[in-house]
Amino acid sequence: MNPNKLWEVIDEPTLVRDFMQSYEEVIKLHFFACSYVFKKQIFHTFSIMDMTGFGVSMFNNRVKSLVKLGSSIAQDYYPEQLGQLMIVNAPWVFQGIWAVVKGFIDEKTRKKI
């Protein structure tokens, strides 16, 4: 994903609204359907973040602010939804960025990543 291209077609309030709507859809539709199929309650996600093509130039102040806001929404309103998040194909520069990003994320959530 190219964050600069994203900002050409969407503004921050719309992106935040869509982010929250996605969480609600997972809770109301996907968890319900999965629980029905597997005949047990499903209430956690397993996500994979593929960072192929990621560059440090993509992590500007606007993106950092959005990551902070998204993390806050997830932690404050949907704290137990994340089961596990796997980050794959992360370039070496991601280690430095992770050092910044993990400061926005509560310890319980960090352990799931």
DSSP string, 12-49: HHHHHHHHHHHHHHIIIIIHHHHHHHHTS----EEEEE
Confidence (pTM)? 0.72
Is residue 32 situated within a structural domain? yes
Is residue 33 situated within a structural domain? yes
pLDDT band at 7 (very low <50, low <70, confident <90, very high): confident
The domain that holds 55 is classified in CATH as 3.40.525.10
pLDDT at 1: 62
Angle between helices 61-77 and 94-101 (to 10 degrees): 50
Residues spanned by the domain of 31: 11-110
Is residue 3 situated within a structural domain? no
Say which residues have a Cβ less than 8 Å from residue 42's Cβ, sequence separation at least 6: 31, 34, 35
Is residue 2 situated within a structural domain? no
Structural domains counted in the chain: 1
Is residue 86 situated within a structural domain? yes
How many residues in total does the chain contain?
Answer: 113
Tell me: pLDDT of 4 over 80: no
Is residue 77 situated within a structural domain? yes
92-103 pLDDT, tens digit per residue, is 888 888 888 888
53-79 pLDDT, tens digit per residue, is 887 777 788 877 777 888 888 888 888
Is residue 56 situated within a structural domain? yes
Gap between the Cα atoms of 33 and 67, Å rounded: 29
12-66 pLDDT, tens digit per residue, is 889 889 989 999 999 999 999 999 999 999 999 999 989 888 877 777 888 777 7
Strand partners, 85: 47
Is residue 1 situated within a structural domain? no
